[in-house]
C-alpha cells in the first residue's frame, strides 16, 4: 500500500501525516511501507506545532529562515504564552546565520533549554522585551515568592523570566524540608531521652545512638551519612537549620531536588570521610557538611556573577551569611578542643565543615551555574565528579588499611 507522504532520507525529518500512520518494514529492511490507519487520533500539541513548522520547511531540511519564522509567529503567535512569544522573537533576532533550527523550536515548546538556544538569545541584536520581573504588578503571594527566589539565585534576566514563567510548585521543594523535619524529630527524641537540649554531646548515652559516625564503628557504612540527624545541642541544630532552610529551599525551587540533593549528600559524605582521614579519633555529628556545601556554592555563585545578581542588600546579606558560617565553625572548633565530658573519647570534629566547603566550591558551583543546561553535557562537571569519586575511593582504602598500619589508638566504642 502506498502513501504520498515523504519519507526520511539521510538527516532529513519524516513529515507528519494527520492520519497517524503505522510504519512497517520487511525482514530485510529494504523497504518501508506506510499504512494508513482508519482511526484518526487527536494530535498532541507538539505535533500541531511540528506540522506548522513543516509547512514553512517544505524541503524537510530541519531549518527555516528567520523571515519565515517571523511569519509563523505573526500568524499563530496568539496561541502562545506572551512571555514564550517574546523568547521566540529574541531567538529569531539573535540568530546570526539567518536560520532557525527545528530542535531549538522544540526545546522551547517542551520547556527545555540548550547551549545554542541560550547563545542565540544572549548574542541577539535585542534582548527580551517587556517589563522586568521587578516591575510586574498584580502578582499573588505565590508568584511574588517565585519572583523573589528568581532574583535570589539566578544572575541572568532571561533565566529569571524563564524560571518565573515555567515554575509551577509541582513538585514542591520537599527534599530540604524533609531533611530538616527529620533532624528536628531526631533531636527532640534524643532530647527527651537524654533529658537535655543544650550540649546533648555531654551525655554519656549520646554516642550510643546508631546514627552518629564513630571511628570504632566506621565499618557500619550508614554512619557516614546518618550522622547529619544528630546534633550536639539546640545551638548547633538552630544554626544549621536556619542556613539549610534559607539557602537550601530557594536553591531546590530553582535547580530541583536531584541537583541540590547531589550537592548536599556529596558534602555530607565528604565531611565524614574528611574526618576519618584527618581527625581519625573523633566522632562526627551534625548536618554542617551538607549545609556548608550548599551555602558555599551559593555564595561563590553570587560572587562570580556579582553584577548580574539583583537581590537586595546582597553585600550585607553575604556578610551576614559569612558571619553565621564563622560562628558555627568557631563553635565547632571550640567544642572539639574543649575537654570532653567522658574521656578518652574526644568531642565531635569540625573537619566536616571544611569537607562541605570544598564540595560546594567545586562540584556545587558547577551545578548552580548551569541552570538551563544538562550537567552530563558539561565537561567541568565530570572533571570535578571524577575528582570527588577518586577522593571517596582513596578515603575508603584509608579507612580499611591506614588505621591498622598507623596503629592509631582509638577511643573505646560507645
Q: Please tell me the distance from the alpha carbon of residue 407 to that of residue 396, in angstroms, as a whole number.
A: 17
Contact 242, 231 (CB under 8 A): no
Q: Please tell me the distance from the alpha carbon of residue 324 to that of residue 321, in angstroms, as a whole number.
A: 5
* CB-based contacts of 65, cutoff 8 Å, min separation 6: 98, 99, 100
> Is 288 noted as a catalytic residue in this protein?
yes
Residue in the block written with cell 541537583: 259
* CB-based contacts of 108, cutoff 8 Å, min separation 6: 84, 87, 88, 91, 117
Would you say how long the chain is, in residues? 414
Contact 358, 366 (CB under 8 A): no
Q: Please tell me the distance from the alpha carbon of residue 49 to that of residue 369, in angstroms, as a whole number.
A: 31
Contact 259, 327 (CB under 8 A): no
Q: Please tell me the distance from the alpha carbon of residue 299 to that of residue 361, in angstroms, as a whole number.
A: 9
* Catalytic member of 288, 296, 298, 349: 288
> Is 148 noted as a catalytic residue in this protein?
no
- Residues involved in catalysis: 288, 353
Amino acid at each position: 500500500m502506498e502513501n504520498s507522504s515523504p519519507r526520511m532520507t539521510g538527516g532529513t525529518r519524516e513529515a507528519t501525516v494527520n492520519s497517524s500512520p503505522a510504519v512497517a518494514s520487511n525482514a530485510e529492511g529494504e523497504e518501508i511501507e506506510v499504512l494508513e490507519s482508519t482511526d484518526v487520533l487527536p494530535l498532541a500539541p507538539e505535533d500541531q506545532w511540528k506540522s506548522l513548522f513543516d509547512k514553512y520547511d517544505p524541503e524537510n531540511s530541519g531549518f527555516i529562515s528567520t523571515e519565515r519564522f517571523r511569519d509563523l509567529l505573526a500568524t499563530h503567535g496568539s496561541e502562545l504564552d506572551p512571555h514564550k512569544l517574546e523568547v521566540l522573537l529574541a531567538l529569531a533576532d539573535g540568530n546570526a546565520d539567518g536560520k532557525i533550527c527545528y530542535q531549538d523550536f522544540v526545546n522551547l515548546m517542551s520547556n527545555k533549554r540548550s547551549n545554542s538556544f541560550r547563545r542565540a538569545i544572549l548574542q541577539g541584536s535585542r534582548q527580551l522585551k517587556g517589563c522586568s520581573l521587578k516591575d510586574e504588578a498584580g502578582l499573588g503571594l505565590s508568584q511574588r515568592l517565585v519572583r523573589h527566589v528568581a532574583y535570589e539565585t539566578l544572575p541572568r534576566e532571561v533565566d529569571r523570566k524563564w524560571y518565573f514563567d515555567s515554575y509551577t510548585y509541582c513538585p514542591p521543594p520537599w527534599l530540604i524540608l524533609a531533611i530538616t523535619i527529620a533532624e528536628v524529630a531526631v533531636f527532640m527524641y534524643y532530647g527527651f531521652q537524654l533529658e537535655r537540649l543544650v550540649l546533648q554531646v555531654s551525655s554519656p548515652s549520646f554516642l550510643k545512638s546508631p546514627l552518629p559516625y564513630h571511628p570504632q564503628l566506621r565499618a557500619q557504612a550508614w554512619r557516614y551519612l546518618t550522622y547529619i540527624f544528630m546534633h550536639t545541642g539546640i545551638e548547633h541544630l538552630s544554626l544549621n537549620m536556619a542556613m539549610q532552610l534559607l539557602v537550601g529551599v530557594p536553591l531546590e525551587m530553582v535547580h530541583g531536588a536531584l541537583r541540590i540533593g547531589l550537592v548536599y549528600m556529596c558534602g555530607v559524605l565528604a565531611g565524614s570521610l574528611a574526618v576519618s582521614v584527618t581527625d581519625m579519633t573523633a566522632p562526627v555529628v551534625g548536618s554542617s557538611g551538607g549545609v556548608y556545601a550548599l551555602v558555599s556554592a551559593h555564595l561563590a555563585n553570587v560572587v562570580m556573577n556579582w553584577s548580574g545578581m539583583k537581590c537586595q542588600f546582597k553585600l550585607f546579606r553575604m556578610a551576614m551569611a559569612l558571619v553565621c558560617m564563622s560562628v558555627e565553625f568557631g563553635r565547632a572548633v571550640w567544642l572539639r578542643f574543649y575537654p570532653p565530658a567522658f574521656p578518652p573519647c574526644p568531642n565531635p570534629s569540625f573537619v566536616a565543615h571544611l569537607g562541605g566547603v570544598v564540595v560546594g566550591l567545586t562540584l556545587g558551583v558547577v551545578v548552580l551555574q548551569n541552570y538551563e543546561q544538562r550537567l552530563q553535557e558539561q565537561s567541568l562537571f565530570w572533571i570535578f565528579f571524577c575528582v570527588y569519586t577518586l577522593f571517596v575511593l582513596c578515603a575508603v582504602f584509608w579507612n580499611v588499611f591506614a588505621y591498622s598500619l598507623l596503629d592509631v589508638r582509638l577511643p573505646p566504642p560507645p
